[in-house]
Structure 1
Amino acid sequence: MIELHLIGIGTGNPDHLTGEARRAIAQADLFLVPHKPGKSDLADLRTSIIDSVRNDAVVALFDMPVRDDTLPYLTRVDAWHDEIAQVWANTMAAHPDAKRVALLVWGDPSLYDSTLRIAARLDPAPKLHVVAGITSVQALTAAHAIPLNTLNAPITISTGRRLRNHGWPEDCETLIVMLDGDCTFQTLDGTSFDIWWGAYLGMPEQILAHGRLGEVSAQIIAQRAEARAAHGWIMDTYLLRRRA
């Protein structure tokens, strides 16, 4: 039976690797590394993290399928996951001697990441191992040196899509927003919230911004666009807190 190791690697900084992650990388027979057109830097970053642990790794690059934007969102994502699972299966079949296969996952495999859902589609099912990783939420609050929650208060973690479609969650004081390529914070009253934003968290390219939402929104949008144009990709997240 193939062992499939999903290894949380943090936000791109090799220092984010836990001891468990380093052991899993050291012991893997094969690494599946996705490649997206125009985003080779992300594949290079994954391979550099592998190289920080060992220099004899077998790496199989695979092209990521493209989502069909004509389909409804959930149908589109479901079909896309089926395609990715098939690509994984084909890539592993091309390396029949590899018994320990690894995928490096940004952040933590449990938080707004579909790697586990894709792995569940594999047939026959592999023996699954998950290595926890530092999330962008942890990296964001550490970079800004702030607590995630206020005293004895809950937090909500959501997506830009949900914020755009449903607005501010009811009875929410602190909201972490992930997967937001549209800067959906623009839809909120800029006088009622503070924002802590970060991109390329934990990496040399890290960018941070903080302040009253209405006063820093334009700055964040401009910085985000400039950084994406420079690097060809961007990973960012932000924390919003309702002002008293």
Structure 2
Amino acid sequence: MRELLVIGVGAGDPDHVTMQAVQALHTVDVFFVLDKGPATADLTEARRQILERFARPERHREVLVADPPRDRAATDYPDAVRLWRDARAELLERVLRAELADGGRGGFLVWGDPSLYDGTIRVLDTIVARGVLPLEYQVIPGISSVQALAARHRVTLNRVAGAVHVTTGRRLADGLPEGVDDLVVMLDARFAAKAYRDQQIDIYWGAYLGTPDEVLISGRLGEVVDRIERTRNELRERKGWIMDTYLIRRNP
């Protein structure tokens, strides 16, 4: 039986790595790194730096796996994600069989927390459900970008007796949820919040949280929306990708 550890390593700051994660890193024989190509080479390098700092070099080795491409122009988004996840599962099943011996322990480093908008758990569930390659896995929680965002802006995510709603830019583009005053938005490629610039809304925005490239902007949405959009475009042009998160808060 092969065993896998899905380890949350935080939003980008190596100090986000918890003691539980460090202990888990010490036990892994093979780390599998999904490589998305040259555009995100710095993310791959950041994972390697975490391993150099916290893992035991005499114990483990690394296997780089080219991540299957996803159809980002598909009209049926859920189906495109499902096909991409299935392709990932088939690829990883072959790689796990070839690179991880029976009885060995493999590891996946996941940015933020594995339970929040990350597909690793679903991919492993797909492999387990297929029943071809027997394996077990555990999940080690991590500090998410949502937590890092609130900490860096020194705010709480919800207000007294209130709730907080976590969603995606794709959902936000369909409209603000009814009865929701505090909304965390992730995976927003087009910065959907700009559609609400005329409403009484505050925003707390952060990009590359926990890294040397971190950028924070906050204020009344209508007053800072152009600055945020301009900053996002400049950062994406310079780095080739952007990873940002934000909290929007209604003010009656």
Normalising by structure 1, report the TM-score: 0.95
1: CA distance, partners of 2:205 / 2:235? 14
Normalising by structure 2, report the TM-score: 0.92
**Aligned residue in 1 for 2:149:** 140
> Unmatched 5+ residue regions in structure 2?
none
Count how many residue pairs are aligned between Structure 1 and Structure 2: 243
Counterpart check, 1:104 vs 2:104: no
2: CA distance, partners of 1:202 / 1:157? 20
The alignment partner of 1:186 has SS state of: helix
Task: Quote the sequence identity (%).
Answer: 41
The alignment partner of 2:223 has SS state of: helix
1: CA distance, partners of 2:78 / 2:199? 34
Output the amino acid matched with 1:139: A
> Unmatched 5+ residue regions in structure 1?
none
1: CA distance, partners of 2:32 / 2:195? 39
**Aligned residue in 1 for 2:214:** 206
Counterpart check, 1:169 vs 2:177: yes
The question of whether the paired residues in 2 share the 8 Å contact of 1:10 and 1:106 is answered with yes
Map 1:50-199 onto structure 2 (within 5 A).
50-54=51-55, 55-56=57-58, 57-68=60-71, 69-70=73-74, 72-97=76-101, 99-122=104-127, 123=131, 124-165=133-174, 167-199=175-207
| Displacement after TM superposition at 1:195 (Å) | 0.2
Output the amino acid matched with 2:189: G
Q: Residues 31-74 of structure 1, C-alpha deviation per residue, up to 9 Å, x if partnerless?
A: 11011122211111111111111334311001111113346111
Q: Which moved more, 1:69-78 or 1:113-122?
A: 69-78
1: CA distance, partners of 2:79 / 2:244? 26
Output the amino acid matched with 2:40: K
Q: Residues 82-116 of structure 1, C-alpha deviation per residue, up to 9 Å, x if partnerless?
A: 01111111221221437111001111111111111
- Give RMSD over aligned pairs: 1.3
Q: Residues 148-171 of structure 1, C-alpha deviation per residue, up to 9 Å, x if partnerless?
A: 111111111100001112x00000
2: CA distance, partners of 1:76 / 1:129? 27
1: CA distance, partners of 2:172 / 2:45? 32
The alignment partner of 1:104 has SS state of: strand
